[in-house]
Amino acid sequence: MSLFEEYLTLGQWLAESERLAIYNYLLQTRSDRYRNESQLLFSKKSLYSYAANGEIYYSVNSNIVQYNARKIGDQNWNNQIRAMKLSRIGFLTRRRLCKFFAQAELDVIRNFPNQGSNHQDEHSFTVNTYPFYTLDYFANGGGKLKGLFKKIMRKEDPLLEKLLAS
Amino acid sequence: MSLTIPKPLIPILTKPMTPPWVLALVLATQLTINYVGSGSNPSCTLNVQRPHHSTYLVEHKNADAIKVNVKSKCTVPQISTTISAEIYELRGNQSIKVFSVKNQTAFADKRDPTESIFQNFSFVCQTGRTGLYLGSASGSVLLTNGKTIQVSGNSGNYHPEICENTAK
């Protein structure tokens, strides 16, 4: 089992810094896949994807992309988890979509982990209120300038390096 | 042998004491008060569980952690609850923040939409060490009617917890 596969089993045990490291890992290692998926999503207006033990349904409507999620095997989808307005500029849209995909997959990894050694208690679908692709996350809602400053000053978590090396 | 009922008792046994329309009116008034009461003044509470020890496996090693679980519960259905949570440790007379997480949103439970459950706000503790811990959380609940209710809570007094598996 690789280190990344082990982290796919942690679920609710994932710490904040680990979640951010996994988000960056997904962005760096799945960029080609995300670009292909963004083309598919634009042509078909909807897309199904998988992460850990969860299923994701993306849809685009009036320049808004959103996703719903469910545990593999469940009948019902969770209500809309996140939505993001898309830019009208092509390459910006693709870049933003890649970040949206990585965030969605991370949310699903956190809530529907693979079966592993760690016990997962019953819980609600839980996410970071501010997604990692916004400056609001780094500022905790305290403004974009503060967010930009904190993002620049932030040290990369050593887990990202370990994941990339594994 | 036949049973004879004394005459003065007959009206009491056969006629209702209170007219039915009065009973209906009282019942309807009570139902209206209950409905309006719960509809206009929904309330929510935040239950912060006592911080307790738990272990989990990460990178092929067992990690000891102190964790706290939080649950919001409302009298009406909710969409989600957003909170920030902390765990404090009492060292001497000083309360030290040993864990903090901000802006976490849990969506309403599918089986009971009046509640949202957060699990495993935790930090890795030093194995064998005993500390006095208190959990605290605050935030808001977004109800399905669009209203937002502020909530806060804590786990009560500082409670001793040893950072190791004491189960036999």
Give one DSSP letter per residue of A29-47, joined into a string.
Answer: HSHHHHHHHHHHHHHHSEE
Q: CB distance A79–B107 less than 8 Å? A: yes
What are the tokens at B129? 């060490």
Q: Cβ contacts (< 8 Å) between A123 and chain B: which residues?
A: 106, 117-120
The pLDDT assigned to B146 comes to 95
Chain B contact present for A75, CB below 8 A: no
Q: CB distance B107–A6 less than 8 Å? A: no
pLDDT digits (tens, 9 = 90+) for A32-82: 999 999 999 999 999 999 999 999 999 999 899 999 999 999 999 988 899
What are φ and ψ of residue A26, in 5° steps? -60, -45
Query: For the residues A89-94, what does the mean pLDDT come to?
Result: 82
pLDDT band at A108 (very low <50, low <70, confident <90, very high): very high
* Chains A–B, number of C-beta pairs less than 8 Å apart: 66
CA-closest candidate to residue A111, choices A130, A98, A124: A124
User: Which of the two residues, A98 and B24, has the higher pLDDT score?
Assistant: A98
Question: Nearest CA of chain A to the CA of B42: how many Å?
Answer: 21
Q: CB distance B59–A124 less than 8 Å? A: no
Q: Cβ contacts (< 8 Å) between A80 and chain B: which residues?
A: none
Chain B contact present for A140, CB below 8 A: yes
The pLDDT assigned to A3 comes to 93
pLDDT band at B10 (very low <50, low <70, confident <90, very high): very low
Chain B contact present for A117, CB below 8 A: yes
What's the CA angle centered on A106, arms B142 and A54, to 5 degrees? 85
What are the tokens at A165? 């090396």
- For residues B118 and B148, the answer to whether their CB atoms sit within 8 Å is no
Chain B contact present for A165, CB below 8 A: no
Distances (CA, A) of B34 to B1, B10, B30, B42: 52, 38, 6, 12
Chain A contact present for B132, CB below 8 A: no
pLDDT above 70 coverage of chain B, percent: 79
pLDDT band at B89 (very low <50, low <70, confident <90, very high): very high
* Contacting residues for A124 by C-beta, under 8 A, at least 6 apart: B106, B107, B108, B109, B115, B116, B117, B118
pLDDT band at A89 (very low <50, low <70, confident <90, very high): confident
Q: CB distance B117–A78 less than 8 Å? A: no
Question: Nearest CA of chain B to the CA of A45: how many Å?
Answer: 25
Helix (H, G, I), strand (E, B) or coil at B21: helix
Asked casually if ipTM beats, i.e. exceeds, 0.90, the reply is yes
Question: Nearest CA of chain A to the CA of B31: how many Å?
Answer: 33
Nearest residue in chain B measured CA to CA from A7:
B58
Residues 97 through 126 of chain B touching chain A, CB cutoff 8 Å: 101-110, 115-120, 122-123
pLDDT band at B86 (very low <50, low <70, confident <90, very high): very high
Chain A contact present for B2, CB below 8 A: no
User: Which of the two residues, B15 and A58, has the higher pLDDT score?
Assistant: A58
pLDDT digits (tens, 9 = 90+) for B112-127: 999 999 998 999 999 9
Contacts by residues A141-147 (CB-CB < 8 Å, ≥ 24 positions apart) = A141/B103
The pLDDT assigned to B110 comes to 87
As a whole number, the mean pLDDT across chain B is: 85
What are φ and ψ of residue B35, in 5° steps? -65, -50
